Amino acid sequence: MIQHPAFRVEPWCLRETELDLDVLAQSESVFALSNGHIGWRGNLDEGDPNGLSGSYLNGVHELRPLPYAEVGYGYPERDQVILNVTDGKLIRLLVDDQPFDVRYGELHSHERVLDFRAGVLERRVEWSSPSDRRIRVTSNRLVSLVQRSVAAVRYEVEAINFPVRLVIQSELVTNEPPPPVSGDPRAAAVLDAPWQSLAHGSDGTWAELVHRTEHSALIMAAAMDHVVEGPPSTHVEAESSPDLARVTVTVTLEPGERLWLIKYVTYGWSAERSREAVRDQVDAAMVVARQSGWDGLVAEQQAFLDDFWERADVEIDGDDEIQQAARFALFHVLQTGVRSERRAISAKGLTGTGYDGHAFWDSETFVLSVLNYTEPEAVAHALIWRHSTLSMAQDRAAQFGFRGAAFPWRTITGAECSSYWPAGTAAFHVGADIADAVIRYVHATSDEEFQVNYGLELLAETARLWCSLGHFNVDGGFCVDGVTGPDEYSAIADNNIYTNLMAQRNLRGAVEMSERLSERASELAIDDEELETWRNAAEAMVIPFDSVLGVHPQSERFTDHQLWDFEETTPEQYPLMLHFAYFDLYRKQVIKQADLVLAMYLRGDVFTPEQKRANFDYYERLTVRDSSLSASCQAVLAAEVGYLELAHDYLAEAALMDLDDLEHNTRDGLHIASLAGTWIALVAGLGGMRECKDSLNFAPRLPPGITRLSINLIFQGRRLRVEATPQTTSYMLKEGDVLEMFHFGKPFALSDKQPAIFDTAKDPALGATLTTPSQPYGRAPRRRNAAIVQET
């Protein structure tokens, strides 16, 4: 998208200067608005044309059976599918009885701007009808980051050359026609007319629809109300039916006259409350929205984002595209989690239906890593949601004969929805990823109440699973066999290093928190014997090493496997999972996404610098990056081991995943974890940030062409700013008490009196002559420095 001539590179917005229907579906994803509860795709106001019409409420889904040719013990029986809820974006316009449709008449100009600082999507259009009636349409759309249940549109029409008779139809529409069925397994299942009408009504400028799903038994209500201003002849009326509510505005405008309306839309849903209670909820939200008014909603949106950017902005000098992409990424990550409030954060957020709206381990490992330091309250809510699903995870573990909790591979509510065991349920590392997110959140916030009420139980139940799932071998080592790590092209393996190291962190974290919160530990029936078992398992954890090759095998015997024939694999055959049998992938050395490399980032304390470089070199030649999760991890380790230009390449791939539609499926929604990976590649990669004792360590390493990196973040209630150039690194405490920090491992005290300034350390590795490893044939990332030079 960003390479498309209609898009501009600007630091604080995404601007589209003309409409190209060939990329309409992709643009709907990148222009999506959300607050973690409500999601509106960036569809055109009038609804047609569209690539994928989408309005979503976090957690709203329908159930469908999972068919199997042969039923197996432990297979999940039902899938959960995200639903398109009542569409409140629609504002249809007729000009002298001719519909305003960009495909007809003459489109003189069309511009859309997603403003990252204002949180508003603006659209400006000039269009002439087939009968040469020229109008100017301006719309502004927001989904409130402050008022959870509220979205709004300001819509204005101006007559330009002739008097025009206008009809505006502002609508609520349920059960919109589903999109065509896709053969891509990453796309969503298609459900036809899943909503059953319970009630509808209208009066004056107001209307409301209430619906229910048949199988998941969810009740959803949507209401709209309007403020209309125009010439004295303006007429307004409302009507409703089971799946459609409409407020119609009619007026005749003379050239230069304008009609504008403000449309307030409120949503609510519940699995437990009555339809009357849900209806009352949206009505109450409407009262508050009307009281705030459009200007009030815009002002509080602006104030919220002003504060967010002051504490979270990342600035890059030397690569304008990455600067824009970094803010685009942060804006969408914020939108995904800020008001999710004890609901899952899905792989696509609320920007599309990809992966059926399911949440994976991506949320804990990537998205929460960013929110920890930018919007930590959202992290607490996301982990409290995981805690709310604990009983289902315990039942799942018990089904397999294990103690503790086995969290699902993919889900909306907490029930497992993966029908393919090897690349799904066998990825038990999701439990350790949740535990890791708990540990990182506590490190970043010291939230005592969270630890007592939620954190310790999550750590304990996941630790119990590892001690039940794993075993001590004859040599006394603790093994975890028959699992799948992050690399889904290597399934059902023994002692996957990522899984084992994250399990080790899980076990140690459970011991540490149990000893610190001994009273709560007793309530959870954690005794001294169990603590000793956790300690012993952690200390004896098996970490395989191939002494012949001098590298860590991704899992036991991985380096003995046959190499994939990359030379005979054509570019059209990627992603491999769509063109080759899983059996063939599982028995070869080919890696879908960073696995051991991710372990070296999250558990870097286990590996020596020499091991990190040897491992990175070995796995770089095997990793095809068929997952959007890979590039950011590779960027982090490439920077750490001294391949700075390669780190820049992978940073760009993560940052431009959707803006360049690199996976060719942005139409289904944004890759939220890759967007979060942009921040990770910048802050943990180029900035070198790592957890260190009760603080943070930074080790900036800037590639050629990047002349400054400035990072704002929150840590333990303090607001920090770290600014690095190739020469110096400065640290500033903008708010909060004195903090001990680390610069390239050396401690210093940071106070609000004055910034601490150091030379940007010269890493000996960066002065060495390094031969950058190659990638599999045809899978090298786009060389970023060459691209910048070419564009310049």
- Gap between the Cα atoms of 631 and 561, Å rounded: 24
Contact 83, 61 (CB under 8 A): yes
Q: Which residues have C-beta within 8 Å of that of residue 287, sequence separation ≥ 6? A: none
Half-sphere exposure of 64 (CA within 13 A, CB side): 18
- Gap between the Cα atoms of 474 and 674, Å rounded: 42
Pairing of strands 195-203, 206-213: antiparallel
- Gap between the Cα atoms of 113 and 233, Å rounded: 33
The catalytic position among 208, 321, 488, 653 is: 488
- Gap between the Cα atoms of 307 and 305, Å rounded: 5
Degrees to nearest 5, angle at CA 759 with 758 and 764:
130
Half-sphere exposure of 570 (CA within 13 A, CB side): 3
- Gap between the Cα atoms of 480 and 469, Å rounded: 7
Please tell me the chain's helix, strand, coil percentages from 3-state DSSP, rounded to the nearest 5. 35, 25, 40
Residues found in the chain: 792
E-only strand ranges, 230-349: 235-241, 244-253, 258-270, 314-317
Degrees to nearest 5, angle at CA 530 with 529 and 533:
90
| Token pair listed for 570 | 């054509």
Contact 154, 297 (CB under 8 A): no
Q: 159 — alpha (psi -120 to 50), left (phi > 0) or beta?
A: beta
Half-sphere exposure of 651 (CA within 13 A, CB side): 32
E-only strand ranges, 162-282: 164-173, 195-203, 206-213, 219-229, 235-241, 244-253, 258-270
Contact 336, 367 (CB under 8 A): yes
Pairing of strands 98-99, 106-115: unpaired
Position of tokens 């590892």? 466
Burial of 779 (0-12, 13-18, 19+ CB in 10 A): middle
Q: What is the DSSP letter of 178?
A: P
DSSP β-bridge partners for residue 212: 196, 219
| Token pair listed for 593 | 């996404």
- Gap between the Cα atoms of 461 and 513, Å rounded: 13
- Gap between the Cα atoms of 727 and 79, Å rounded: 54
Burial of 771 (0-12, 13-18, 19+ CB in 10 A): exposed
Nearest CA to 45 among 126, 108, 137? 137
Position of tokens 């705030």? 292
Concerning whether 488 is annotated as a catalytic residue, the answer is yes
Position of tokens 């080919």? 590
Contact 497, 552 (CB under 8 A): yes
Instruction: List C-alpha distances in Å: 121 to 118, 389, 576, 613.
Output: 9, 35, 37, 44
Q: Which residues of 131-161 are buried (b: 16+ CB within 10 A; e: fewer)?
A: eebbbbbbbbbbbbbbbbbbbbbbbbbbbbe
Strand arrangement of the beta sheet that strand 314-317 belongs to = 314-317, 708-715, 718-724, 728-735, 756-759
Catalytic residues: 488
